[in-house]
Amino acid sequence: MDRKQIRSVPIRPEEITPKHIYQSRRQFLKNMGFVGMGALLASCAPGLTPPDELPTGLPTDFRTDNMNNLLTSYDAITGYCNFYEFTTDKETVDEKAQDFVTSPWSVAVTGLVENPRIFTMEEILEAYEQEERIYRMRCVEGWSMVIPWMGFPLQKLLEDVRPTSEAKFVLFESALVPGQMDNANSDLFPFPYLEGLRLDEAMHDLTILATGLYNEPLPPQNGAPIRLVVPWKYGFKSIKSIVRISLVPDQPPTLWNTIAPNEYGFYANVNPDVDHPRWSQATERRIGDAGRIPTLFMNGYAEEVMPLYEGMDLEENF
């Protein structure tokens, strides 16, 4: 495929959340007996517009969709998850994470910054206007989704804490709550889950901190109340339920890169030409669709992100 043809494709606001998905989800949850008052209240929280009334004035620069114009359903996005602190079984993460306490919550932003700060979640939502970003998400395991996130550019938060000139990388840390996460003391994973970006990657317009999806607050299984989304990288970079962001001078150790450096590179840019040692990365299964589709270089965001990697050997720095 000619990579020049891969561009971000605009999507019409009215396509974003067909009313029937929104309603059928409620019915589904009710039938399953999942919905406590808390969940109902959260999804009707003030300030969140019901998806079927989504205003057309939302920022649209990064509304991109997949090759066949379909969003992954809310049920699939929230029912098929990777969140290893709870379980390695994708289909029961939602149940296991159901009682994860995500309020009150705060995020410490520390390290090489002039203005270190602990933000409460309320302060974050107040300070940074939430916008919609529809992104492809490609897991390193070979499946993908198209997800309508709500969030804001990480760049805005980083600018507010003013990284010093020594800051070159950003380290992110997930919450680790053994009493609430069944797999927290796993021998296989050296939790807390850590991830990192080079500072210029973290400052890129496409990099967001997400606080919602389908215009509702993030559910715990998707990384409530705040998680990273870096759409041109494999999904494992998009760390969930963040409690700390540190500006650091050197490339930080990260969970997957520490466990298996030959399989999971620090950069982890989606690249159909660089296979995982145990499987091809040339194609992917779009959840909800039959068959496989070609994986796009940089997950379809090459035009936007290639300037970050000028002169870099992408096979060596995979």
Ligand X SMILES: Nc1nc2c(c(=O)[nH]1)N[C@H]1C(S)=C(S)[C@@H](COP(=O)(O)O)O[C@H]1N2
If one asks whether residue 105 binds ligand X (CB under 6 A), the answer comes out as no
The partner residues of 93 in beta bridges, in order of sequence, read none
Binder of ligand X out of 63, 240, 244, 286 (CB under 6 A):
240
Report how many helices (DSSP H) and strands (DSSP E) the chain contains, helices first. Answer: 9, 12
**Which of residues 85 and 158 has its CB atom nearest to Mo ion in the complex?**
85
- What does 85 interact with, of ligand X, Mo ion, none (CB < 5 to 8 A by kind)? ligand X
If one asks whether residue 66 binds ligand X (CB under 6 A), the answer comes out as no
- What does 174 interact with, of Mo ion, ligand X, none (CB < 5 to 8 A by kind)? ligand X
Q: From residue 37, how far is each of 21, 30, 51, 97, 308 by CA, in Å? A: 21, 11, 20, 17, 46
Please, which of residues 179-208 interact with ligand X by CB under 6 A? 193
Size of the site for ligand X (CB under 6 A): 17
Q: How far apart are CA 36 and CA 41, in angstroms?
A: 9
If one asks whether residue 265 binds Mo ion (CB under 5 A), the answer comes out as no
Binder of ligand X out of 74, 83, 128, 297 (CB under 6 A):
83
If one asks whether residue 85 binds ligand X (CB under 6 A), the answer comes out as yes
Q: Near ligand X by CB under 6 A, which window of 22-30, 150-158, 238-246, 288-296?
A: 238-246
Binding mask 138-167 for ligand X (x = CB under 6 A): -x----------------------------
Phi, then psi, of 31 in degrees rounded to 5: -60, -40
If one asks whether residue 84 binds ligand X (CB under 6 A), the answer comes out as yes
Binder of ligand X out of 17, 64, 238, 295 (CB under 6 A):
238
The partner residues of 118 in beta bridges, in order of sequence, read 108
Q: Give me the least distance between CB of 50 and ligand X, in Å please.
A: 22
Binder of Mo ion out of 97, 124, 139, 255 (CB under 5 A):
139
Q: Near ligand X by CB under 6 A, which window of 42-50, 56-64, 233-241, 290-298?
A: 233-241
Does an H or E element contain 194, and which?
A: strand 194-198
If one asks whether residue 235 binds Mo ion (CB under 5 A), the answer comes out as yes
Contact between 62 and 133 under an 8 Å Cβ cutoff? The reply is: yes
Q: How far apart are CA 29 and CA 19, in angstroms?
A: 16
Return all residues near 231 (Cβ < 8 A) that are at least 6 apart. Answer: 133, 135, 136, 137, 206, 299, 301
Binder of ligand X out of 135, 149, 172, 236 (CB under 6 A):
236
Q: How far apart are CA 266 and CA 317, in angstroms?
A: 8
Contact between 19 and 50 under an 8 Å Cβ cutoff? The reply is: no
Torsion region of 298: left, alpha or beta (phi above 0 gives left; psi -120 to 50 gives alpha): left
Q: How far apart are CA 234 and CA 197, in angstroms?
A: 12
- What does 267 interact with, of Mo ion, ligand X, none (CB < 5 to 8 A by kind)? none
**Which of residues 112 and 270 has its CB atom nearest to ligand X in the complex?**
270
| Nearest to 147, CA basis, from 217, 65, 68, 221 | 65
- What does 252 interact with, of Mo ion, ligand X, none (CB < 5 to 8 A by kind)? none
Binding mask 53-82 for Mo ion (x = CB under 5 A): -----------------------------x
Helices (H), the chain: 19-32, 37-43, 74-79, 93-96, 121-127, 154-161, 199-202, 255-259, 302-305
- What does 171 interact with, of ligand X, Mo ion, none (CB < 5 to 8 A by kind)? none
What tokens were used for 96? 């296991």
Question: Residue number with the shortest CB distance to ligand X?
Answer: 235
Q: How far apart are CA 83 and CA 240, in angstroms?
A: 8
Q: Residue 120 in 3-state DSSP?
A: strand
Which residues of the chain form contacts with ligand X (CB under 6 A)? 81-85, 137, 139, 174, 193, 222-223, 235-236, 238-241
